[in-house]
Amino acid sequence: MKVERRATASWKALGCVLVFALGGPTVTDLTTFLVVSITFFTILFSPISPPMGTRLGVFVAIVIVVGTSKAWFATPPIAEGQGVFVPDSTSAYQDALPPAVYSHLAQSFARDFTRTRECAPPVKSCWLDRRADAPSRGFAFGSESLVFSTALTRQVWGTNFDSRERVPLFALNDVRYNFFPPTHSRTWVGEELPFFVAYSVPERERPVRLCWRGQTFWPQRDGSYEGRFHETQTCETLGSGDPTGPVFGVETRHSPLAMTLEPTASMHLRRALGVWLGYAGALGVALVLLGLPQKPLPWRHLMLPIGAIAATLGWGLFLEPLTATGVRIHPAGSDGLAYESFARTMAEAAANGDWYEAFRGVESIFYSMPGLRYFLALVKPIFGDTLFGTLLVCAFLPIAVHRLSRVFLSARAAAILTALFLLTPVFEYFRFTQYIYVKLVVEKNLAEPMGYLLIITAIIPALSALADERPRIRTGTVFLIGLMCFAAVAMRPNLAPTAGILLTVLGIWFLRTMDWPKFGLLCLGFAPIGLLGLHNFVYGGEFHLLTSSGDHPANLEMPPAVWLRALEQLWSGDFAGAAFQRMLKQLHTWNSPDEFYRIAVFLVVVWVAFAKRTQSALRLLAWLALSQQATLFFFHASGRYAFLAWALTFLVFVVVTVNEFWPWWRLRRQRPANTTPQPG
């Protein structure tokens, strides 16, 4: 049985890898994301039968034929370069750009941007503060170059944009351009900062037609560049005898740019063959592993996973239509800008072979959340500079919510609750809706959805075991619980109390039953948490267990010492005391008066946690919810920091309502009818 289960798991893992390899190898457009993610979920959540005999031959043939074809057809032939221009103290721009292009950008910047306007108080950050952080290369790094190598930014099949908003200008996702005033996050930086693009078409792919509106620079036979400006769209053909240097397009504050580079018929054909062969290969792998057509498609297993992908993408497009492009240009001052910049810097360092800098993660001592930057850097070769990777992870959240609900509720009740979570924002005030987690991804690309998913996934097997009459957790699952607790804390250190309670309960259980192997595996899974402190000591020379921001006043808003002073002032009647006022502010932030109904739900969870007759699994869930609530009395008490606290609190309330209150209410309504004496 164990051998068969391991073989099935191995084939599933192989199938998932092949889906990305054949369907990709880069997932940077909406169609590819849909095909790959649906196929990936189909293999992951369906019962499969390892291929044998003829099916194994078909499987191998698909991999070989499609893999070889993809290698021949899938590589985009046109090199694209892009960059944002800001005066700096290095020669990066001068080395990368032709003199005519550099001179035009420098003169335009000097004319359009002045110290007295863009850098005048109360501006918090300005390009004058960032000269020491100037980019080391003129053309921005593109993560797709990790797969399709290029000397510029990335390889493309063509381009078509008529406004700045339609340019995937991910070069702006860099803390070096984090210029912002104190009152507004969408600033002149994202909307008006000069940028340039360049397109280099190999001679074998010519002739191609290039249309543009605005300022462009064309290579000449003597190596110089000629500026060509048109206020209306103009087209020219790049022939095989023309100079081979890249054609540049430049946009400045008062001169917008539009460009269209039309691929040739041969390029269209190669791209179509590469893309559709990849889709067919990914789907073929899934069909073989599922045993189709001999076996029916397991719709019962696939309804929720496919629905989760569809709803997650639907919420994303509803919140931000540009989600369709996958590229999110983060506004200045946002945490998402910092994390994306960190990941891009780490990926570039790895591409250059500088693994010391890549593992450093930009910060010698972690101040921001450590885990997200490493995840984003890790998936850059697959998802490029898009947010499709975190969007795919976010699609797992409804599945985790359903499985957690199923531990306590009937199949029907869990399905209804999951549908409400996935499809409606009706429980938004309890942070129990996929809508707000997708919003965190598409608007800011933050760590909360991933951290919450990891801790919920770690909780599920523990609660399932406690809810069983014969508690048992598989050995491999124990290690994964510890590992997911580590990853969750690395994503969001405020999850440490919840992870600590879960690990302590399991550790005591294994010690009491003298199950030493499982106890050791649990510790081994969580052991990488020490790497965070080791990183801080090795790179920064200081020891911080997780981050240096844990006790920062901006995060630790109500320290324990202030709580003690506030309680003393309450006891003495000093209601005007500073500590007492801070306590009132913290409690108001935790739950404002217009959300009074949440207090009743919170009190139900407190009752469940301490009631003697509470079932063990539900008691543990209540304690986990309260552990998250406890952090809110000291740290940030609202917004994304409180999402998991209220979501778990609400889930405990729903379980009690469905399993305890509702049966009691129905019984009470039926009792008078049953006890009425019969005539005669």
Backbone Cα Rg of the chain: 29
**Amino acid in position 670:** Q
Give yes or no for a contact between 612 and 578, defined as CB atoms under 8 angstroms apart.
Answer: no
302-335 CB burial, b ≥16 within 10 A, e <16: bebbbbbbbbbbbbbeeebeebebbbbbbbbbbb
pTM, two decimals, is 0.91
Whole-number pLDDT of residue 408: 94
Domain limit, last residue, from 550, 579, 610:
550
User: Can you list the residues of the chain whose pLDDT is less than 70?
Assistant: 1, 89-90, 114-134, 180-191, 469, 671-680
Which residue, 54, 40, 47, is CA-closest to 9?
47
Whole-number pLDDT of residue 183: 46
**Amino acid in position 666:** R
Residue holding tokens 């913290």?
586
Does residue 465 fall inside a structural domain? no
Does residue 468 fall inside a structural domain? no
Are 521 and 400 within one domain? no
Does residue 454 fall inside a structural domain? no
Which residue, 534, 461, 460, 449, is CA-closest to 488?
449
Report residue 532 as tokens. 């965070």
Which residue, 638, 393, 384, 647, is CA-closest to 498?
647
DSSP for 282-306? HHHHHHHHHTTTTS---HHHHHHHH
Are 286 and 343 within one domain? no
Are 119 and 239 within one domain? yes
| H-run or E-run covering 237 | strand 225-238
Does residue 563 fall inside a structural domain? no
What 3-state class would DSSP assign to 333?
Answer: coil
Phi, psi of 26 (to 5 degrees): -110, 140
Return the bridge partners of 364, or none: none
Report residue 178 as tokens. 């984090």
Are 442 and 544 within one domain? no
DSSP class of 446: -
Does residue 581 fall inside a structural domain? no
Q: How many domains does the chain have?
A: 5
Domain limit, last residue, from 216, 240, 262:
262
Are 108 and 165 within one domain? yes
Q: Is 415 exposed, middle or buried (0-12, 13-18, 19+ CB in 10 A)?
A: middle
Whole-number pLDDT of residue 519: 95
Domain limit, last residue, from 214, 236, 262:
262
Whole-number pLDDT of residue 586: 92
Whole-number pLDDT of residue 187: 47
573-588 CB burial, b ≥16 within 10 A, e <16: eeeebebbebbeebee
How far apart (Å, rounded) are the C-alpha atoms in residues 217 and 247? 6
Does residue 371 fall inside a structural domain? yes
- All residues at 6 or more sequence positions from 308 whose CB lies less than 8 Å from its CB, including other chains: 41, 395, 396, 397, 398, 399, 422, 434
Which residue, 53, 65, 47, 64, is CA-closest to 289?
47
What 3-state class would DSSP assign to 81?
Answer: strand
Does residue 584 fall inside a structural domain? no
**Amino acid in position 239:** G
Report residue 59 as tokens. 């499987």
Are 605 and 534 within one domain? no
What pairing do the DSSP bridges indicate for beta strands 258-262 and 225-238? unpaired
Are 53 and 122 within one domain? no
Query: 226: domain range?
Result: 78-157+159-262
Report residue 434 as tokens. 């996929």
Are 106 and 183 within one domain? yes
3-state SS of 186-236 is CCHHHHHCCEEEEEECCHHHCCEEEEEEEEEEEECCCCCEEEEEEEEEEEE
Give yes or no for a contact between 658 and 413, defined as CB atoms under 8 angstroms apart.
Answer: yes
Report residue 234 as tokens. 């103009």
Residue holding tokens 């990183």?
535
How far apart (Å, rounded) are the C-alpha atoms in residues 114 and 103? 17
Are 47 and 176 within one domain? no
What 3-state class would DSSP assign to 148?
Answer: coil
536-553 CB burial, b ≥16 within 10 A, e <16: beebeeeebebbebbeee
Which residue, 7, 17, 2, is CA-closest to 50?
7
Are 86 and 98 within one domain? yes
Are 153 and 229 within one domain? yes
Give yes or no for a contact between 606 and 616, defined as CB atoms under 8 angstroms apart.
Answer: no
Are 172 and 107 within one domain? yes
Does residue 673 fall inside a structural domain? no
Give yes or no for a contact between 438 and 319, defined as CB atoms under 8 angstroms apart.
Answer: yes
Whole-number pLDDT of residue 167: 85
